[in-house]
Amino acid sequence: MNNLSAQTPYGILGKDGIKALANAFYDVMEERIEAAPIRAMHAENMTEIKQKLYEYLTGWMGGPPLYSDRYGSVCLTSAHKPYAIGTQERDQWLDCMDIALDRIAVQYTSDSKQLKTMLKQPLFSIADAVRNQD
């Protein structure tokens, strides 16, 4: 892998790292009392959503478009319409992602701070785009 391709989150994490991230993300959501309100929006069994988030993030992070190959192009905003997502829910989601990154990043990069910095603004933007109320 050349240096240029390493400069995307996909280049740093690869499929394995993104899979680990998606799994850790929902594990954190399950564990954190603060995330209980967003956990409750999800199905009891999170196997499928773990796989979907992995596929989605792989494309979003600069890798192959696994999610849209399987499901077609999706509007995340409308996919989330059935759920009441305000700033609190958005921030709970982002907190889970932050902790999940802390858990897995060290296994994939010697500079996990750089990875987190690279993702911070884009993650905020996408989570805020999913928000459908104050």
**φ, ψ for residue 40 (rounded to 5)?**
-65, -20
Residue 79's identity, in one-letter code, is A
From 15, 42, 50, 116, residue interacting with ligand HEM (rule: CB under 6 A): 42
Restricted to residues 46-65, the positions that interact with ligand HEM (CB under 6 A) are 49, 52-53, 56
Tokens 């929902």 belong to which residue?
26
Minimum Å gap between C-beta 2 and ligand HEM is 27
Name the nearest CA neighbour of 48 among 76, 18, 22. Answer: 22
Query: Smallest distance from the beta carbon of 45 to ligand HEM, in angstroms?
Result: 9
Select from 13, 66, 93, 115 the one that contacts ligand HEM (CB under 6 A): 93
Phi, psi of 79 (to 5 degrees): -60, -25
The amino acid occupying position 114 is Q
Residues that bind ligand HEM (CB under 6 A): 38, 41-43, 49, 52-53, 56, 71, 76, 79-80, 83, 85, 89-90, 93, 126-127, 130
